[in-house]
């Protein structure tokens, strides 16, 4: 490894001149079309010789963008499903089980608003922290490790402690703390993993959707990670007493998990029963291994010992967890492996008794990245390698291509690990944000290991036999622009080896994929811009309200055009917004009525297009406001050309009004789908 201080003369100049940047305009246009402006300054760029890993990387940013729901004054949250489901928190659509994934993905977004707003909502007045098991505090801490903005992360410290202490109550029906065992327990359904061994066997094999309360590796690992996050955040504020308290709690959880949830027969972390009934007995181990047993490594809980490392020999065993197309959630030897219990009509519903789930695949790959990065036992080194990480990430990427929809990129809920086909194909299922991927690429494959100190550490887990080149750039880390590049022989970028750049300058190199560390100062990243959309309404019965010029329009669809959700996926089962009739030359309008006179000055308009479905953007449009009972076009309007599957922008002289209209005529024989009509009380610049 060479540091910048060691490079001199022509050698340094030659290396610097050969560094090649990626074309942001071309890449974002290639992957996002007319919506490219949203991504251009918000996402890190990534290029790789492994085309599937690269394509899915950009698809996952598409998923991230689609699941950012604007709640107006309440900011943005990340949703799990595109369509509403009955078990979400109403009316926001909050589901917290995947919040850690959302925050870890969002920490790489150059616009901090999304993760910052989301954390504020998770710990804000509308919070629902016991909806599922959670590791939200850890997610906030992980975000701090990338951006280094202490104020964002520590703002929620008091509420984090309140939530943590709430889990310690014994009055919950579906999860809590058992003081006699010094462990947390959870119902598998409330752990977001219904139909596990614990819940199926607790029913005598008859069911398993509910019940099966157990001391699980998952919730105890989450609470360990949350306790450490609270301790670390308290240190940032100089609250040493709080830091010590939660460090001790974390140490207690760690010791108890290792002493009681490690099963030496199975050589794996597994559940023990909280429930005691005719089928299972309190404190007995469940009768098989589950993929959840790797979650302790996701959060760096286990000690670095030869004994615990033995768990990793099961991961790649085809008779155990390793399916041909994905990681099984439990092993085929289990009596009820892949038995289907639950249906919606004739379609299969979610179960965790064997299917491959992106949710736990994400956890296992994060765990494996930790193991390969900083666990040093010889047993682990002999059982799993960097090549295994790359291969499993490739396998995971391949799951994103949906054979039931012609091979398009469409991540669904769960999969048959032996065939790679989706299992649950319900209306809610497409483009599911219940997992992570961007973080696995940037912190694992590319190897940027976020730290709290003033060090940039890069330790790529890419297999050089598979990844002959890659480059990740435009990564905001501690307020600096970071790039990491690998070229096995120099054929692609003109410089062979591993190159790390900070603010456009090479700071470290290595001829091989190895660990590089370099000092880095902490700079303030760009400030967050928070324009508030005055048009957004979560509840269709409250103001603002939408209405249209078309009779008998679907009220839910009309409301969808102001519900703060924007995506352009073509599948009819995730259609989003209001559809007009086919154009015949007539003008139509979409109106927003405010409860009282409201300042308006700009709009972001999202039109959908799909030629086979007959949708396109209108050729032109205008904005009208109602002032003193009279409709007129806004003054000094600046209308950008209408675009489909992207954002059309309009600005005008600010005006107070209680009603505003988007007026347009669909093209002849074409329909318009108005995905979102978002109005602001200030001029919002192009982003």
pLDDT tens for each residue of 181-212: 999 999 999 999 999 999 999 999 999 999 99
pLDDT tens by residue, 400-458:
999 999 999 999 999 999 999 999 989 999 999 999 999 999 999 999 999 999 999 99
**Residue 320 clears pLDDT 80, i.e. is over it:** yes
**pLDDT at 286 exceeding the cut of 70:** yes
- CATH architecture observed for domain 39-442: Alpha/alpha barrel (1.50)
The beta strand positions in 384-537, using DSSP E, are 401-402, 408-409, 455-458, 469-477, 480-487, 497-502, 505-510, 516-519
401 CB-side CA count, 13 A: 13
- Report residue 528: phi and psi, to 5°: -80, 130
Return contacts of 490-497, CB within 8 angstroms, 24+ apart. Answer: 492/49, 492/468, 493/18, 493/19, 493/20, 493/469, 494/18, 494/20, 495/15, 495/18, 495/19
- What is the band of 382 on the pLDDT scale with cuts at 50, 70, 90? confident
What CA–CA distances, in Å, run from 403 to 406, 411, 420?
Answer: 5, 11, 8
pLDDT range class, residue 20, cuts 50, 70, 90 = low
* 17 pLDDT above the threshold of 80: no
Residue range 25-48: mean pLDDT, rounded: 98
pLDDT digits (tens, 9 = 90+) for 609-637: 999 999 999 999 999 999 999 999 999 99
For residue 260, how far is the Cα from the chain centroid?
A: 32
First to last CA, the chain: 39
Residues of the chain with CATH 2.60.120.260: 545-680
Bridge partners (DSSP) listed for residue 487: 469, 497
Has residue 176 got a pLDDT over 90?
A: yes
CA distance 27 to 141: 31
> How high is the pLDDT of residue 16?
40
pLDDT at 687: 57
- Looking at the predicted structure, is the pLDDT value of residue 13 above 50? no
State the average pLDDT over residues 669-675.
Answer: 98
Helices in 499-645 by DSSP H: which ranges? Answer: 555-560
Q: Which residue did the predictor score with more confidence, 685 or 130?
A: 130
Q: Which tokens is 615 given? A: 């949708």
Where along the chain do the CATH 1.50.10.10 domains lie? 39-442
Q: What is the pLDDT of residue 213?
A: 98
Q: Mean pLDDT throughout 250-264?
A: 98
CB-hemisphere CA count at 13 Å for 561? Answer: 31
Given a contact cutoff of 8 angstroms between Cβ atoms, the answer to whether 246 and 228 are in contact is yes
Averaged over 27-32, what is the pLDDT?
98
Tell me the per-residue pLDDT of 544-603, one tens digit each, with 9 for 90 and over: 999 999 999 999 999 999 999 999 999 988 999 999 999 999 999 999 999 999 999 999
> Which tokens is 94 given?
């909050």
> What is the biggest distance separating any 2 CA atoms in the chain, rounded to whole angstroms?
79
- Residue 73's Cβ-count burial label (10 Å; 0-12, 13-18, 19+) is exposed
In this predicted structure, the answer to whether residue 344 has a pLDDT above a threshold of 90 is yes
Question: From CA 608, how far away is CA 647, in angstroms rounded?
Answer: 10
Question: Model confidence at 169, in pLDDT bands (50, 70, 90)?
Answer: confident
Closest alpha carbon to 492 in 54, 65, 191: 54
Nearest alpha-carbon partner for 192 in 370, 414, 417: 414
Tens of pLDDT, residues 57-106: 999 999 999 999 999 999 999 999 999 999 999 999 999 999 999 999 99
Q: What is the dihedral sign for C-alpha 279, 280, 286, 292?
A: positive
**Residue 670: helix, strand or coil by DSSP?**
coil
Task: Mark 37-50 as b/e (b = at least 16 C-beta within 10 Å).
Answer: bbbbebbbbbbbbb
- How far, in Å, CA of 185 to CA of 555, rounded? 43
DSSP state of 290: B
pTM above 0.75, yes or no: yes
Q: Sorting pLDDT into bands at 50, 70 and 90, what band is 4?
A: very low
**pLDDT tens string 347-379:** 999 999 999 999 999 999 999 999 999 998 777
The yes-or-no verdict on residue 11 having pLDDT over 60 is no
Q: What is the reported pLDDT for 379?
A: 77
Pick from 359, 356, 354: nearest CA to 325 = 356
Kindly state the DSSP code that residue 285 receives in the 8-state scheme: B
Please report where in the chains the tokens 């998923």 appear, as a residue. Answer: 63
Residues 256 and 301 sit within 8 Å (Cβ to Cβ): no
Q: Is 496 exposed, middle or buried (0-12, 13-18, 19+ CB in 10 A)?
A: middle
Of the candidates 564, 456, 433, 610, the one whose C-alpha atom is nearest the C-alpha of residue 519 is 456
The predicted structure's pLDDT at residue 636:
98
Which parts of 511-559 are beta strand (E)?
516-519, 545-548
* CATH no. for 545-680: 2.60.120.260
Q: What is the mean pLDDT of residues 493-501?
A: 97
What pLDDT does 55 receive? 98
Q: What is the DSSP letter of 443?
A: I
For residues 284 and 261, what is the distance between their CA atoms, to the nearest angstrom?
A: 10
d(CA 118, CA 115): 5
- Under the phi-then-psi rule, with left for phi > 0, alpha for psi from -120 to 50, and beta for the rest, what region is 644? beta
Instruction: Place 685 in a pLDDT band, splitting at 50, 70 and 90.
Output: confident
In 179-266, DSSP assigns E strands to 183-186, 214-215, 262-263
Mean pLDDT of all residues in the chain? 95
pLDDT reported for residue 631: 97
């Amino acid at each position: 490894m060479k540091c910048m201080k060691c490079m001199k003369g022509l050698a340094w100049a030659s290396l610097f001149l050969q560094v090649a940047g990626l074309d942001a305009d071309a890449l974002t246009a290639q992957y996002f079309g007319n919506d490219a402006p949203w991504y251009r300054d918000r996402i890190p760029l990534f290029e790789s010789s492994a085309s599937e890993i690269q394509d899915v990387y950009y698809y996952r940013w598409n998923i991230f963008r689609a699941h950012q729901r604007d709640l107006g004054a309440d900011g943005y949250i990340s949703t799990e499903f595109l369509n509403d489901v009955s078990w979400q928190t109403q009316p926001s659509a909050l589901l917290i089980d995947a919040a850690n994934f959302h925050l870890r993905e969002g920490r790489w977004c150059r616009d901090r608003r999304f993760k910052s707003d989301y954390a504020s909502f998770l710990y804000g007045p509308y919070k629902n922290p016991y909806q599922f098991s959670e590791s939200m505090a850890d997610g906030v801490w992980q975000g701090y490790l990338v951006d280094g903005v202490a104020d964002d992360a520590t703002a929620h410290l008091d509420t984090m402690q309140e939530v943590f202490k709430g889990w310690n109550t014994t009055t919950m029906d579906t999860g809590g703390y058992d003081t006699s065992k010094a462990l947390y327990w959870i119902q598998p359904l409330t752990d977001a993993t219904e139909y596990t061994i614990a819940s199926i066997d607790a029913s005598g094999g008859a069911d398993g959707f509910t019940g099966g309360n157990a001391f699980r590796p998952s919730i105890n690992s989450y609470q360990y990670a949350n306790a450490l996050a609270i301790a670390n955040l308290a240190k940032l504020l100089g609250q040493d007493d709080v830091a010590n308290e939660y460090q001790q709690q974390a140490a207690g959880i760690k010791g108890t998990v290792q002493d009681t949830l490690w099963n030496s027969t199975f050589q794996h972390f597994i559940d023990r029963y909280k429930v005691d009934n005719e089928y299972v007995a309190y404190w007995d181990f469940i009768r098989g291994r589950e993929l959840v047993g790797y979650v302790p490594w996701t959060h760096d809980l286990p000690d670095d010992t030869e004994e615990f490392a033995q768990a990793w020999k099961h991961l790649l065993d085809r008779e155990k967890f390793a399916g041909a197309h994905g990681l099984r959630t439990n092993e085929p030897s289990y009596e009820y492996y892949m038995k289907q219990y639950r249906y919606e009509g004739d379609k299969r519903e979610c179960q965790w008794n064997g299917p491959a789930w992106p949710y736990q695949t994400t956890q296992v790959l994060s765990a494996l990245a930790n193991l390969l990065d900083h666990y040093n036992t010889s047993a682990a080194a002999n059982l799993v390698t960097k090549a295994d990480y790359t291969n499993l990430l490739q396998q995971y990427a391949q799951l994103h291509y949906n054979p039931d929809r012609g091979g398009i990129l469409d991540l669904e809920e769960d999969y048959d690990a032996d065939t790679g086909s989706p299992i649950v194909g319900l209306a809610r299922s497409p483009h599911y944000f219940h997992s992570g991927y961007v973080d696995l690429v940037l912190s694992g494959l590319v190897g940027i290991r976020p730290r709290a100190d003033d060090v940039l550490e890069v330790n790529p887990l890419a297999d050089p036999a598979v990844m002959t080149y890659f480059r990740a750039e435009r990564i905001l880390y501690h307020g600096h622009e970071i790039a990491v590049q690998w070229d096995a022989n120099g054929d692609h970028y003109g410089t062979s080896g591993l190159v790390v750049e900070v603010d456009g300058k090479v700071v470290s190199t290595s001829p091989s994929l190895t660990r590089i560390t370099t000092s880095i100062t902490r700079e303030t990243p760009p400030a967050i811009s928070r324009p508030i959309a005055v048009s957004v309404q979560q509840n269709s019965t409250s103001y603002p309200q939408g209405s249209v010029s078309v009779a008998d329009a679907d009220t839910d669809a009309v409301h969808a055009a102001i519900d703060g959700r924007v995506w352009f996926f073509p599948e009819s089962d995730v259609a989003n917004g209001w559809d007009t009739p086919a154009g015949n030359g007539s003008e139509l309008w979409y109106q927003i009525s405010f409860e009282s006179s409201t300042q308006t000055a700009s709009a972001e308009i999202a039109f959908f297009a799909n030629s086979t479905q007959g949708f396109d953007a209108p050729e032109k449009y205008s904005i009208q406001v109602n002032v003193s009972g009279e409709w007129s076009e806004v003054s000094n309007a600046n209308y950008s050309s209408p675009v489909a599957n992207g954002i059309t922008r309009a600005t005008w002289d600010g005006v107070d009004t209680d009603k505003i209209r988007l007026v347009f005529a669909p093209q002849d024989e074409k329909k318009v789908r108005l995905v979102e009509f978002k109005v602001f009380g200030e001029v919002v610049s192009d982003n």
